[in-house]
Amino acid sequence: MKPIYDAWLIQIEITNACGKKCAYCTRAVPHFKNPYFAEMTFIESALQSLRGWKRGVGCMGGEPTLHPEFKKICSLYRNYFPKKQCGIFTSGGPLYEKYKNLINETFGTIHYHNHATPSYHQPIMVASEEIISDTALRNELIRDCWLQRKWCPAISKKGCFFCEVAATFDLLFDGPGGYRMEPGWWKKKEAEFSDQVERYCRLCSVPIPLGSFPDTNPYDYVSPGNAERLLKAQSPLAARNGLRIFNKTITREKIRELRNSPLYRDPGHYGQRDKTNFFRKSPLILKIKTNNIKHEIVHCLKTGDLRGFFRTLKSGSLR
Ligand code: SF4
Ligand code: SF4
């Protein structure tokens, strides 16, 4: 797996409140009974723990502009990191409009996706340990998880995590918390975060090519064990009968079949398919994107994934 220090950006989750409540959200927004707003001291400690980090520093929710101290949070980001390093991830809305100038002054990268049209998300809560009994296959898929390769580690109020989705599981399912927010926690390589991989990846379906579904769906696909965990967590979506149980067995042959199906939407569209979804490209982001493409090509060659290799070359984009 990619070392944490090789990620293009580390997210700081300042809140998990969001009015959109999309299905299959990686923050599991529809499943949280009581959203939280991080304390200023927490946000400052998170920023301090990234001292020396030269890549992106994300401001993420939920919807970050909903945080009642959003103006002060912007000042904190400016105190600790130059604009070109700071990125915000927003779904827009009246508060985004209100703070637009401040956002433009603070963040060099603005990832804006207002979900005005449905976008497609992959379910995250079909636990691989429940549907894949072949341990070798499960571990292979996890070690090759596209989201871990392309997306971000995260700091949530429970601590520091090698993957944003792992942070979500820990918070939702009352896990033991992440690594301490101490300077340099992000210098870990795979062997140093294997405890988190072991704890959270088995609960997750991101590396399984189950396909992507409209985020407007009023339900979530979950495995039986995760359905129980969600009921225990008093998920509002579970309480509204919004869980669809997925318990089909997935084998190596099935994985091949799913990947070759014309209905399969490659997760490479992540952040790129929807016209309302854009990056304002700073030189930093362009550089990171180029590095990610190089990383992807090397990965495809190493794993013999010729399909992925040619697709990456052809599209110049990520798998
Ligand atoms: S807008 Fe983003 S954070 Fe909010 S529910 Fe949708 S995917 Fe989750
Ligand atoms: S399997 Fe899930 S928790 Fe593990 S790295 Fe992938 S997205 Fe993160």
Q: How high is the pLDDT of residue 272?
A: 37
**Structural domain includes residue 248:** no
pLDDT tens digit string along 183-193? 999 999 999 99
**Structural domain includes residue 290:** yes
Any bridge partners for residue 159, and if so which? 156
Q: How many domains does the chain have?
A: 1
| 117 against 12, higher pLDDT | 12
- Ligand 2 touching residue 163 (CB < 6 A): yes
Pocket test for ligand 1, best of 21, 91, 95 (most atoms within 8 A of CB): 91
pTM of the model: 0.84
Integer Cα distance of 122 and 141 in angstroms: 15
- Name the residue with tokens 């490659």: 266
pLDDT greater than 90 at residue 163: yes
Atom of ligand 1 at shortest range from CA of 30: 5
pLDDT tens digit string along 81-117? 999 999 999 999 999 999 999 999 999 999 999 988 8
- Tokens, residue 98: 């209100």
**Structural domain includes residue 19:** no
Atom of ligand 2 at shortest range from CA of 128: 1
> Residue 276 carries which DSSP code?
T
For atom 7 of ligand 1, the residue with the nearest CA is 25
Under the banding of pLDDT at 50, 70 and 90, the label for residue 282 is very low
Pocket test for ligand 2, best of 26, 142, 196 (most atoms within 8 A of CB): 142
Q: Which of 41-45, 152-156, 296-300 has the lowest mean pLDDT?
A: 296-300
| CA angle, residues 158, 171, 37, in degrees to nearest 5 | 70
**Structural domain includes residue 160:** no
Do 213 and 190 touch, CB atoms closer than 8 A? no
- Ligand 2 touching residue 108 (CB < 6 A): no
**Structural domain includes residue 188:** no
pLDDT tens digit string along 110-158? 999 998 888 888 999 999 999 999 999 999 999 999 999 999 999 999 9
**Structural domain includes residue 307:** yes
- Structural domain for 294, as ranges: 282-319
pLDDT tens digit string along 227-252? 999 999 999 999 999 999 999 999 99
**Structural domain includes residue 24:** no
pLDDT greater than 50 at residue 283: no
- Find the residues whose C-beta lies inside 6 A of ligand 1: 18, 20-22, 25, 27, 29, 61-63, 91, 115
- Ligand 2 touching residue 152 (CB < 6 A): no
**Structural domain includes residue 287:** yes
| CA angle, residues 113, 67, 161, in degrees to nearest 5 | 75
